Structure 1
Amino acid sequence: MPRPAKGARLWFDKKAALWFIRDGSIKRGTGCGFEERSSAEGKLRAYIEEKYEPPTDSRSSALLVADVLTYYSREVAGGQRSKTSSYSIERLLGWWGAKPLSEVKRSTCQAYVEHRASQPIRQATKSKKPKLVSRETARRELTVLRAAINAYHAETPLDALPVVTMPKQSPARTRWLTRDEVARLLRAARKLEEKDSARALQRFIMISIYTATRSGAVRRLGWVENTLGGYVDTGAGVMHRRGADEEETRKRRPPIRIPNRLSGFMRRWKDEDMRETKERKAIPFVIHFRGKPVKAQRKSWEEARANAGLGKEVTPHILKHTAVTWMMQSGADPWDVAEYAGTSLKMIEDVYGHHHPDFQGDIASRIGRR
């Protein structure tokens, strides 16, 4: 019996030291070296789109998982601004691609989770003991697989709809920073030797902790309206967290009033950045390094975190978590907190409700009364 095709995928030729696209008997060069994996992935996506023909079969036993994932990538995920689905599809294709859709069941889903949990994180492969992919990451990838199957089923009803079995969801994070810990983190950021990194990290910490904004949205902020991300209108005192061309997603980014304690800093930062001199042009980005926008701050964050005496569990996302916790502790209305943070009211009540001073206050006062 012939082996099923694995579908289009990347393959690294050690002799040529280049990435190639393998698709059955086809071998196409990308011209990309080992360190240019992201560019090779782009060429693989272009190749798949070039040869793409929408599948129309309704038999789950006749369809490959690769067919369904490719359909989802082309028809649904391609219109999403976030790259999360694209990254997940690439990982899913590597393991599921050659399997028929009927093979999606509880045992294979569990096997996929174990497979991913044994792999090192790509960005951490240079360390002596690389960090492994978390089960939560594998869970998110299976969520994309489920979405792909449902999207295909909505267009071409399947004779048997496979059930994607998810691993248990990780419990919500309970760690948040005290005001003293945030102050230590800011002091450590100011003392970084690389002054551009120090300035960028200080701004990132202050904006995140005062506005409860997700890290990606903070780093994409500009001083003028743009299509890449949000912008800060210091005149109106409003921070727009979503770009002009960005679609709203479940991770909402509604505009918010700039907090009083942050507005003065914002005005001063804008004056500094937008002032043109003979030496440099105006810088339209709020978070920048040597005049360029910043996509990540891993090195500076880790250095400042360690110097502040904080543990490795303190990641950039903890700033949003801390901001929401502080708002609830201050007695703010949960609905207002949810709208300000761009988070669902259910999430606020389930994860942060116990921090509110009125949490179960009425029922607790009634226990024991006649």
Structure 2
Amino acid sequence: MPRRSSPPRLERDRKRPSEGNWYIYWTEGRRSREHSTGTGDRDQAELYFAEWKLRRFRPERAVEPHEFYVADAISHYLAKRLDDVTDPERLANAAKPIIRFFDGYSVGDINDALIKEYCQKRRKGRGDKGLKDGTLRRELSLLSTAIRRAEEDQLITRKIAVRLPPKPEGRIRFLTCEEALTLIRVSRSFDSPLQDGVPTESKTEHLTLFLRIGLLTGQRKEAILSLRWSDIDFDSNIIYWNPIGRRRTKKERPSSRLPARLRKYLLRRRRRFPEDEFVITHRGKSLQNIKRAFRTAVVAAGLETDGDRKVVPHILRHTCATWLMQKGAPKWDACGFLGMTLETLEKNYGHHHPDHQRGAADAI
């Protein structure tokens, strides 16, 4: 009886598993086959693997879902999307547990029972810490989108529905003024090393500026880290968060007024590092993430690092929106400043506004 063909999989070189390159292994009929990715880096190997499968295994016509592997659908989607998203690492990380669990399954095998088994296994794998529904929803949304993309690109004849966990309630934790000041203060408290008797850039000096920009503009982490000096018009006091030539995403980035309280900090940074292209840099280099430095400051400030009140960079946006409402800012002005819809503002932050339900309360 002929050996059943198996889908290609990525493994470390079986002859040198501790130090070799990553290889693609699969079987066709009675023969085992292998192909080197030419790299020992797992992330680069994953990208090569996805592109290799697209070149070698793309069907000449759309096939039935039971003839198309889930891993191939995910690989196809990643190859199409990784270069277009603002956070490719997050997308790739969401795909890894999907690929591991559904290895060997076809798209046609997906049903409610299999999705339930996936959710149970993922929750069990996290032990006592558990796995939040939001994480499961994000992972399974990727699976659903990959299947839909496979149908749109005529790889499969029809899509298969993926039932998602219920959408969790949004986490609207915000910082009080005292908490925000403490966070900024501890970010400035790390000693600057001396070089030839002159203080150099401190370990978390860039974090202090990041905190101030986040609190005073309410923009997302990615927008702040990608902000260039050329995007700031100091004469007109306008920040262009979405300049011409930047790739557009579904996350709106408005042009916003430069707050006077922030302007002086930006000008000070500009004078200190006139050669930098980006506003947030460390030792002259732009940053892709600020998670580690942010967590260090959160711990030093005695703020929460776990649970529903966990303090993460996105809380700076929640804080700015909340403060605007508490100060009674006109809602349309706040929406334009934050790049947020009126519906989202009213739903999540409107109750902080001094005029919230005032008419009803006064009428009672």
TM-score normalized with structure 1 length: 0.82
Q: Which residue of 2 aligns with 1:205?
A: 211
1:61 equivalent in structure 2: 66
The answer to whether 1:287 aligns with 2:277 is: no
**Whole-Å separation in 2 of the counterparts to 1:362 and 1:75:** 52
Q: CA distance change for structure 1 residues 283 and 159 in 2, over 3 Å: closer, same or farther? A: closer
Deviation at 1:212, TM superposition (A): 0.5
Map 1:269-348; keep pairs closer than 5 Å: 269-274=269-274, 282-312=275-305, 313-348=310-345
Amino acid at match of 2:136: A
Contact kept? 1:208, 1:218, Cα under 8 Å: yes
Report the equivalent of 1:232: 232
| 3-state secondary structure, aligned to 2:219 | coil
Q: Identity over aligned residues, as a percent?
A: 26
What does residue range 166-181 of structure 1 map to in structure 2 within 5 Å?
166-181=164-179
With over 3 angstroms needed to count, the CA separation of the structure-2 counterparts of 1:159 and 1:42, relative to structure 1, is closer
Residue 316 of structure 1: SS of its match in structure 2?
Answer: coil
Consecutive unaligned residues in structure 2, runs of 5 or more: 27-31, 193-200
- Partners of 1:157 and 1:45 lie apart in 2 by 15
Aligned pairs (5 A) from 1:73-92: 73-75=78-80, 78-83=83-88, 84-92=90-98
Superposed displacement of residue 46, structure 1: 4.1
Q: Is the Cα–Cα contact under 8 Å of residues 21 and 30 in structure 1 kept in the other structure?
A: yes
8 A Cα contact 2:69 2:105, kept in partner = yes
Q: CA deviation at 1:32?
A: 4.5
User: Is the 8 Å Cα contact of residues 196 and 290 (structure 1) preserved in structure 2?
Assistant: no
The answer for the alignment partner of 2:198 in structure 1 is none
Deviation at 1:360, TM superposition (A): 2.2
Q: Is the 8 A contact 1:4 1:98 kept in 2?
A: no
Q: List runs of 5+ in structure 1 lacking aligned partners.
A: 121-128, 225-230, 275-281
Corresponding residue number in structure 1 for 2:35: 28
The one-letter code matched in structure 2 to 1:302 is R
1:96 to 93, 102, 110: 102
1:26-79 deviation per Cα after TM superposition (whole angstroms, max 9, x unaligned): 33344555xx43333333344334435256335222222233333433455654
How many residues are matched? 344
Answering whether residue 356 of structure 2 is matched by residue 363 of structure 1, we say no
Q: Distance in 2 between matches of 1:93 and 1:159?
A: 22
For 1:219, give the aligned amino acid.
L
State whether residues 204 and 218 of structure 1, in contact with CA within 8 Å, keep that contact through their aligned partners in structure 2.
yes
C-alpha change, 1:242 and 1:44, in structure 2 (3 Å) is farther
**1:93 positional shift:** 2.4
The 5-angstrom pairing of residues 23-172 of structure 1 reads 23-24=25-26, 25-30=32-37, 32-33=39-40, 36-51=41-56, 53=58, 56-75=61-80, 78-83=83-88, 84-119=90-125, 134-156=132-154, 161-172=159-170
CA RMSD of aligned residues (A): 2.9
Contact 1:104 1:164 (C-alpha < 8 Å) held by counterparts: yes
Shift of 1:90: 4.1
CA distance 1:156–1:50, change in 2 (3 Å): closer
| Cα separation, partners in 2 of 1:296 and 1:161, compared to 1, 3 Å | closer
Aligned equivalents of 2:13, 2:131: Cα separation in 1? 22
Alpha-carbon separation, structure 2, partners of 1:38 and 1:71: 16
Give distance in 2, aligned partners of 1:109 and 1:294. 37
Distance 2:186 2:60 in 1: 55
